[in-house]
Each structure stands twice: as structure tokens, then as C-alpha cells.
Structure 1
Amino acid sequence: MKRLMALLCMAAGAAHATDIYRYTHAGMLAPNVRNLAPRVYVPNGKDATVSVIDPASFSVISTFKVDQEPQHVVPSHALGALYVASDEGRQSLTPIDPLTGKPGTPIPTPDPYNLYFTPDGKYAIVVAENARRLDFLDARTMTPAFHLTVPCKGINHMDFSPDGQHVLAACEFSGDLLKIDLSARKITGELHIGGMPQDVRIAPDGAYYFVADMERDGVHVINATGPQPREVGFVHTGKGAHGLYPSRDATRLFVTNRDEGSISVMDFQTRHVVATWRIPGGGSPDMGSVSADGTQLWLSGRYSDEVYVFDTRSGRIMHRIRVGKGPHGLTYFPQPGRYSLGHTGNYR
């Protein structure tokens, strides 16, 4: 019995020692972005603009037009560009040069709600939410390669397994999760969890995925290691749980509760909420990023036309910055990491 307990303790210690985010800790910027001036890019869905914020002065320094309903600003795999995903009107990916902060020529792309990149950097994955597809593009040329049709409604967010072989994707309008084998190019597992699943983020030890649920007001805990996705727990956070952001030391997970104007801070190891930060007077915290040094959490205020900046040490709201109408998938750039897997700050 003592030997068994010792082995279990050793296994738990080994799992805890693993850190998927070990290259994304504070200040660990890739060489090609180390000298860039940091900027915060805010896609304003209702007026088809992007606001560019200087995080040193907490002020908007420029605004430019893009195609209709910009949803997210996504860093490219090699960090040499960012893309604004606009999924209405002409529908496009608009590249941004991080050296100048200026947009380039839009790339016509059907239904780009969100954008990810395979860990090997070979493909960009366009999340075509309304079309019920994942469209794979050549990441160098951003031209179509192949697509995968999905059997659910509202595919929106995903995260990658530790080996990069699989993704777990959330479908908000049908309440489903899909496990997808990237090399086999097929769906290998499905799980109906109901509710309205949103952002997906894997735990530092790679054992679980966390899936925010706007309808059930919390976070599903999904086994990441089995052949089929399986729910093993649920953590109540607050109304409209939406975005998930690991702290720079990978000990905490910040959960945005969009419908009650709060942030829940969850301990990764215990899966307990250890703090709740509330926006004075209310707000609608949606998507965002943690700053490169880890001291700030930047979030869009989806229905309040502003950006919130939280101090991650105290939970105090430091700034509220007016932007355009309907701000959504905000990105702080650059962030630590060797490469980007997409969304608003999923790095490895």
C-alpha cells in the first residue's frame, strides 16, 4: 500500500511538473518580436474598425477600417503578422504589420469567425462558424488547402493537445465538443454538454481542457487524455462565462463572466475559484490577453464600447479606455512564446 501511494504521489508530482506554458512565462518573447513596441489591437465589430492602443500611455493612437464584423485579431504562427477576421460583408482576413501597426490588403476568406494555426506552422485553420467548417489554408500563402465539415452548430473556439495531434473544439449553438485528429483529418470523438460552450484552454499539465459555458455560468472540466472527450467536473464562476486566459506563471486561469461584469480567478491545480474581480458599475468583459510581463489583463467590453485593464496582482481595474462599437477579440502583441496557435493569445 505504501508503495502504491508513493507511485501515485510520484505520478501526481510528474504531472504537476509538466508545464505546457513553460515558454510563455513573463518576458519570454521570441527573438523576432523582442524589440517591437507593444500594441493592443481591438476589433470593433459594430463599426468595422480596429482601434490600436499604446499600452504605455493607455490611449488609442490610431483607428483603421476593415471589412464588416471584425471578430478577432490573431497573431500568425511565426509572429510576423496579425490577421483581423471579418466574417460578414466581403468576409476577409486583413493582415496587420506589427512593425507599423498598419493594415495591408484584405485576403478574401469565406466566413472567418476565428483563426488558429497548427503547431507545426503548416496550416492556418479558419473557423467558419456559420458554414459549419474548418477551412485549412497554407500558412505561408494563406490560400486554401482542404476543409473539414463539422456536424455541430456554431463551432467557435478550440485548443490543442500537448503533442499537437488533436484539438478540442467547442460548438456554441448545439452545445457540443468535438475531438479532431489533425493528421487523420477527421473527427474522432464527440460530447454533448449542452449549454453554450465558448473558449477552450488546456491545463498546464495537459490532463484536462477547460471550456467556458455562457449558459451554465461556469467552466466544464474535460478529460484530455482519453480517446473520447469526457466531462469530469464543473466549476461555477459567474453569469456568462466566456473567455479563458492563463496567468504568465501558469498557476491561475482568468475567466471572464460577460453577463455580470466580473472576472473569476481559478487555481489551475485545485480547480477552485480563489478570487472574483468586479467592474465598478458593471461591464461586459469578453475576450483579451495577458500583458507580456503578466501584470495586466486586457479585455474588451463587448456591450460597453470600452477596454478594461486589470492589475493581475490585486484585481483592481486600472483603466477603462473608450474604443469603437462592439469590441470583441482583443489582442495584446507581442506576447511571450515561441509561436502562436491563434485566437487572441494562445502561444507555446
Structure 2
Amino acid sequence: MRLIAVLSGACAAVLAACAPVAAPGEVGAQAMAPTLFVANKRGNTLSKIDLTTGEEVLRLPSCTNPHELATSPDGEHVALACYGGTTVDVFLTDNLERVSSIELGANARPHGIVWHANDSIFVTTEGRGSLFRIDGLLRDAVLRFEYATGQQGSHMLAVSPDATTAWTTDLGSRTVTRIDLTNRYPLLSVTVGEEPEGISLSPDGKTLWVSARGSNQAFALDPLTMEVRETVTTGRFPLRIAVRPQGDVAVTSDLQDGSLSVIDTANAEVIRTIAVSSPAEAEARFQVTILWSNDGSKIYVAETASDTVAEVDYASGTVLRRLTVGEGGDGMAILP
């Protein structure tokens, strides 16, 4: 593990916000409503959606090619991985004012991001083949630690409940890597399917689920030994995988089918397919990121090409509505 820098005082100058979609004086009240945040990678903006009304209440400039998002445990901040650059930018959730920009070094290309319950931010840096842990952000004294994965294209990640272990999917190397966050070594990387990208840890921390988009498969791994326990055939091009908060199912986002494969985690088998769009519409929608509501009743599906997010009722499999976002809506986060 390598200590990169210690910053005392303000992380970065506060940047002036552009004019919001919402009328003046309305933002504070909206912050308390069920809220979805979306990174718009083509528009270089950040959207805030009031899930009570389904309306986009704010859309402001963010950074170049923003991708994944994570909300802070207290719900007051949202962190954005600036994939087209070298920073993690942090915004207030009530008015999307940028309050910090954390530099991660040359060629970083930050992508996957987790804001852990212990207040640490974990983010992959695809260009550096590494994982960063960012501590002390809310105490205004930032510590950055970098862990090399030894793999190419470290893209998405999961972090254990006790924050002692992280796992990355490494697209370029076709591997999944386990990183001991307490000690720098040992690293353990295993080959998992073709182009493993999606990753999600079960709520109890006992099973690591990975989707491999190139082989149309999902895998259940032992998080400690990295042994593949189960292999499941999914829909076509399962770009993401997300375990329901209840832990009973894992869902893959099957980009080429415009659907979701629902996997029974106990039996490691697909038990349902949810049609978000038809196969004929799949290219026009180009669904990518998926996100569960906190109660596990809904799935949010980012449709990057149509600038929408589909809200899906899990029980019925019905698309309840499509939420309008900015250009290329991709990464999503929801208030805890």
C-alpha cells in the first residue's frame, strides 16, 4: 500500500454552480425526497431525480466523461468518478454544488466507486491498474492510499462490510482480483469467463457475484479463496450484476437483449427474465448500469442511448416509468 498524499484544509475550492432546473428555494425540500443521481457521460453533467414525482429537478455540469457514482452514508454528498480525467469529484446532494476534487495522479481514469459505511471512498483507476482508498474527506484532511492490482483495466469493484478486502474486475486481463486492504499483499487474481465486468457482493459477504459480458455468464465465487462455486448462463452481454438487498437474487443487465436475468442465489439458476425493452429496441436503448432501491422493490436501469432510466417493479417485472436524464446517463446512486 502506498500513501500518496495528505491534504490539510479545504480539499479544493468550491466551484460556482450553474443555474438549476428547479426554482430557487425548492432545493432544500427536494433533498429529503427519495432521490436518484445519474452521471451523464456524454453530456458531462450530473442529474438529480425526485423519485416521488419522477422529475429531474437539477442538472449541472460535472466533469469529463463521468461514470460511476456513490452517495455518502449520511446522504449529504455524492462522489463521482471522472473517467475522462484523474479526479473524484464530490458534490452536495441538496444542490449539486461541487465541494471537493480529489486528484489521483496521471492517467488515472477513475471508474468504479464505493462510498463505504465507514466513510472511506474506494475507487478503481483503470489507467493506473490500481485501487484507491480515500479517507478523511468529511474531516477536511484527505489521505489517499493506492493499491496496485497487477492487472489491466481494473474497472468495477466491491468492498467487504468490514472494509478489509476489496475485489476488482479487470477487463483487460480477464480476471477478478482480491486485494487485502490491511496489508499490501497477498493479491489473488483468477480468470473468470470472458471480459468480467459486473461485480456484487452478497449482503452477508459470503458470496462474490461476477458477470462476464463476453461469455454471457454469471459466476458465484468464494470471496476468500476466489474459487468459482457456480456458473450460470445469462442473457446476452451481461454488463452489470447487482445482488438484491435481501440477498435472495442477483440480477444481470443483459445489454444485447434489453432484459434482466434474475438469478436465484441459493440455487444459482435463472428463475425469471424481465423485459425492460424488446431485443429490437435494445440497441436504441443500450441499457447499462442497474441499481436496486433500498427496499429491493424496484430496479433502476440506465438506458444510455435514449437518455432515460427505466424504473422496474421487481415483483411484477413491469416498467413503471422512464425517467428523463442528461445525455448518456450511465452511473447511478440513490440516497441511503
Deviation at 1:80, TM superposition (A): 3.2
Deviation at 1:117, TM superposition (A): 4.3
Contact 1:252-1:265 at 8 Å conserved across structures: yes
Contact 2:38-2:330 at 8 Å conserved across structures: yes
| C-alpha separation in 2, matches of 1:180 and 1:92 | 22
Stretches of structure 1 that go unaligned for 5 or more consecutive residues are 1-34, 336-348
Deviation at 1:119, TM superposition (A): 5.6
Contact 1:208-1:225 at 8 Å conserved across structures: no
Contact 1:215-1:240 at 8 Å conserved across structures: yes
Match of 1:6 in 2: none
Deviation at 1:78, TM superposition (A): 4.5
Match of 2:87 in 1: 92
Match of 1:42 in 2: 38
The 5 A counterparts of 1:1-348 are 36-89=32-85, 91-98=86-93, 100-110=94-104, 111=108, 112-117=110-115, 120-121=118-119, 123-140=120-137, 141=140, 143-161=142-160, 163-226=162-225, 229-278=226-275, 279-280=277-278, 281-282=281-282, 283-333=285-335, 335=336
* Secondary structure at 1:73 match in 2: strand
Match of 1:31 in 2: none
Change (3 A) 1:116 1:185: farther
The Cα offsets for residues 20-76 of structure 1, whole Å up to 9 and x where unpaired, read as xxxxxxxxxxxxxxx922211110101101121111111212210011011012112
Name the amino acid aligned to 2:46. Answer: V
Match of 1:340 in 2: none
| C-alpha separation in 1, matches of 2:170 and 2:220 | 16
The Cα offsets for residues 208-264 of structure 1, whole Å up to 9 and x where unpaired, read as 2110111111211212243xx122221111111122223243212221112221111
Q: Which has the higher contact order (CA 8 A, sep 6+)?
A: 1
| C-alpha separation in 2, matches of 1:295 and 1:118 | 23
Deviation at 1:294, TM superposition (A): 2.7
Question: RMSD of the TM alignment (CA)?
Answer: 2.2
| C-alpha separation in 2, matches of 1:205 and 1:125 | 19
Contact 2:193-2:212 at 8 Å conserved across structures: no
Name the amino acid aligned to 2:122. Answer: I
Change (3 A) 1:149 1:224: closer
Name the amino acid aligned to 1:107. Answer: S
TM-score by length of structure 1 reads 0.78
Contact 2:240-2:288 at 8 Å conserved across structures: yes
The Cα offsets for residues 266-286 of structure 1, whole Å up to 9 and x where unpaired, read as 111111111101114333221
* Secondary structure at 2:315 match in 1: coil
| C-alpha separation in 2, matches of 1:204 and 1:95 | 26
TM-score by length of structure 2 reads 0.81
Deviation at 1:129, TM superposition (A): 0.8
Name the amino acid aligned to 1:134. Answer: L
Change (3 A) 1:322 1:197: same
Count the aligned residue pairs: 295
| C-alpha separation in 2, matches of 1:320 and 1:163 | 36
The structure that is strand-richer by fraction is 2
* Secondary structure at 1:184 match in 2: coil
| C-alpha separation in 1, matches of 2:162 and 2:263 | 25
Stretches of structure 2 that go unaligned for 5 or more consecutive residues are 1-30
Deviation at 1:162, TM superposition (A): 5.4
Deviation at 1:142, TM superposition (A): 6.7
Deviation at 1:95, TM superposition (A): 2.0
* Secondary structure at 1:36 match in 2: coil
